[in-house]
């Protein structure tokens, strides 16, 4: 009777203490798969035992007294009798079975060990959930397809080629293999010869050779006994054919004199030009260059100036900042600048104006907010 009440209490409670014997503790176990049986088990409870929980909490005795409508002293007497019987059985048989819960045993150190026997699922949330067996799926051909295959096998056997055609096909394949081998062997033996070049098999080379042979034949069109004219004979023939060359009118000395005078006049001209260049005022050129340099606007601030800038936006790349500065400048603000990030910063800032003091910059914010919105701010760079 005590065994029945212990099992019923394990359904609703996490711990049931048997006075002077130990405590049974339940714990939640999630759903699991049995790889041997190929089954899925629902969530459940597992029961463990702790022999150090000997102080009674009154749960077991109160339940027995309430269920059986007996005094609490009689219920305590029933529990004590159950504990004496369990200890005596363990001492004599080294084994005590708590029906539908588990088995108690002594180990080598004479301590009680508990082995849980899972007969019923004690978790109320899994009530009614069975163990599901999952059989592996095996592919099987439909009966109709198997019948069609069996019917087609004789037809395939009948459509096999006759022996003569198969022999002819094998002969053609063997002849092709043999011809390929003979060709490769011939090329190999030709390559072993010292005066033979495999490139002569190239049709383009053969075409070039024929063209060269034709041109050679054209150049060698004279007969073998042909003797060309000598150098003296050719000069005599040229003098008879060509007219006499006219003699120069001016003497060489006069020509050289005119060339020297022309060269001298040119040197004087260059000297006069050098003198003009040297006599030009250098100060005026330098002053003009300085004016041009001063006129160039500063659009990029690379070093700290300790001035206060009104910033319209910040960008991660210089190209984006330069595009924003150009847009600000097109709105009529020629003082727009790009501020290079300082140490510890990666943000390229675009300013629309800059001032010497913070008070001046903050007083001018309202002027620029009408154009650039409320997100502009003052930045000391």
Mean pLDDT to the nearest integer, 3-20:
87
Q: Which of 24-38, 85-99, 196-210, 263-277 has the lowest mean pLDDT?
A: 263-277
Name the pairing type of β-strands 102-106 and 95-98: antiparallel
Tracing tokens 């001492």 back to the chain, one arrives at 91
At residue 140 the predicted structure's pLDDT band, cuts being 50, 70 and 90, is low
Domains of the chain, earliest start first: 2-133 (no CATH), 298-380 (3.30.70.1070)
* Res 238 pLDDT > 70: no
pLDDT number for residue 147: 75
CA distance readout (Å), 100 to 5, 150, 344: 12, 57, 73
Q: Which of 13-17, 37-41, 205-209, 313-317 has the lowest mean pLDDT?
A: 205-209
- Stated length of the chain: 381
Mean pLDDT to the nearest integer, 4-18:
88
Among residues of the chain, what percentage have pLDDT more than 70?
67
At residue 210 the predicted structure's pLDDT band, cuts being 50, 70 and 90, is low
pLDDT number for residue 190: 72
Mean pLDDT to the nearest integer, 253-266:
43
Q: Which residues pair with 309 in a beta bridge?
A: 354, 379
Q: To 10 degrees, the CA torsion angle through 336, 337, 338, 344?
A: -120
pLDDT number for residue 278: 39
Q: What are phi and psi of 97, to 5 degrees?
A: -105, 120
pLDDT greater at residue 144 or residue 270:
144
At residue 350 the predicted structure's pLDDT band, cuts being 50, 70 and 90, is very high
pLDDT number for residue 141: 63
Q: Which of 153-162, 285-294, 358-367 has the lowest mean pLDDT?
A: 285-294
User: Which of 46, 49, 53 shows the shortest CA–CA distance to 117?
Assistant: 46
CB atoms within 10 A of CB 30: 8
Enter the tokens of residue 11: 């359904």
pLDDT number for residue 169: 87
Give the DSSP H or E segment for 163.
Answer: helix 163-192
- Round the average pLDDT of the chain to a whole number and report it: 76
At residue 308 the predicted structure's pLDDT band, cuts being 50, 70 and 90, is very high
Mean pLDDT to the nearest integer, 34-40:
85
* Res 43 pLDDT > 50: yes
pLDDT number for residue 310: 92
pLDDT number for residue 84: 92
Cβ pair 358, 292 in contact under 8 A: no
Cβ pair 129, 121 in contact under 8 A: yes
Q: Compute the distance between CA of residue 226 and CA of residue 235 in angstroms, rounded to an integer.
A: 20
Write the pLDDT tens digit of every residue in 78-118.
Answer: 989 998 998 899 888 888 898 888 898 988 888 888 888 88
pLDDT number for residue 311: 93
Write the pLDDT tens digit of every residue in 159-173.
Answer: 566 888 888 888 899
Q: Compute the distance between CA of residue 313 and CA of residue 338 in angstroms, rounded to an integer.
A: 10
3-state class (DSSP) for residue 195: coil
* DSSP 8-state code for residue 296: S
Cβ pair 75, 25 in contact under 8 A: no
Mean pLDDT to the nearest integer, 358-376:
88
User: Which of 250, 348, 357, 249 shows the shortest CA–CA distance to 299?
Assistant: 348
Residues 6+ apart with CB under 8 A from 13: 26, 59
pLDDT number for residue 152: 66
Name the pairing type of β-strands 132-133 and 39-41: antiparallel
Vertex 310 angle, CA 309 and 313, to 5°: 115
């Amino acid at each position: 009777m005590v065994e029945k009440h212990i099992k019923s209490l394990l359904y609703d409670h996490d711990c049931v203490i048997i006075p002077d014997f130990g405590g049974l503790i339940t714990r939640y176990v999630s759903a699991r798969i049995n790889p041997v049986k190929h089954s899925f088990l629902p969530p459940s409870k597992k029961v463990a035992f702790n022999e150090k929980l000997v102080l009674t909490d009154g749960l077991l005795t109160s339940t027995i007294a309430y269920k059986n409508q007996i005094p609490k002293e009689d219920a305590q007497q029933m529990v004590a009798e159950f504990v004496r019987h369990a200890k005596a059985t363990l001492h004599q048989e080294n084994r005590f079975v708590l029906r539908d819960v588990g088995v108690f045993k002594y180990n080598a150190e004479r301590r009680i060990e508990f082995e849980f026997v899972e007969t019923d699922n004690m978790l109320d949330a899994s009530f009614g959930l069975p163990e599901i067996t999952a059989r592996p799926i095996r592919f099987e051909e439909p009966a109709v397809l198997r019948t069609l295959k069996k019917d087609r096998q004789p037809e395939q056997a009948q459509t096999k080629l006759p022996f003569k055609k198969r022999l002819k096909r094998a002969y053609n394949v063997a002849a092709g293999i043999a011809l390929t081998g003979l060709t490769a062997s011939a090329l190999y033996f030709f390559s072993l010869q010292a005066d033979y070049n495999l490139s002569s098999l190239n049709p383009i080379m053969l075409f070039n050779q024929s063209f060269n042979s034709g041109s050679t034949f054209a150049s060698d069109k004279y007969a073998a006994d042909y003797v060309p004219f000598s150098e003296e004979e050719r000069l005599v023939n040229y003098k008879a054919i060509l007219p006499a060359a006219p003699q120069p009118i001016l003497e060489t000395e006069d020509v050289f004199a005119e060339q020297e005078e022309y060269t001298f006049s040119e040197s004087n001209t260059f000297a006069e030009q050098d003198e003009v260049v040297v006599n030009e005022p250098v100060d005026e050129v330098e002053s003009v260059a300085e004016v041009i340099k001063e006129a160039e606007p500063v659009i990029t601030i690379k070093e700290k100036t300790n001035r206060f800038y009104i910033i319209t936006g910040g960008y991660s790349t210089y190209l984006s900042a330069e595009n924003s500065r150009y847009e600000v400048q097109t709105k009529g603000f020629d003082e727009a600048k790009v501020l290079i990030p300082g140490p510890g910063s990666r943000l390229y800032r675009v300013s629309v104006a800059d001032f010497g003091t913070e008070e001046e910059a903050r007083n001018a914010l309202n002027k620029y907010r009408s154009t650039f919105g409320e997100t502009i701010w003052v930045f000391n760079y």
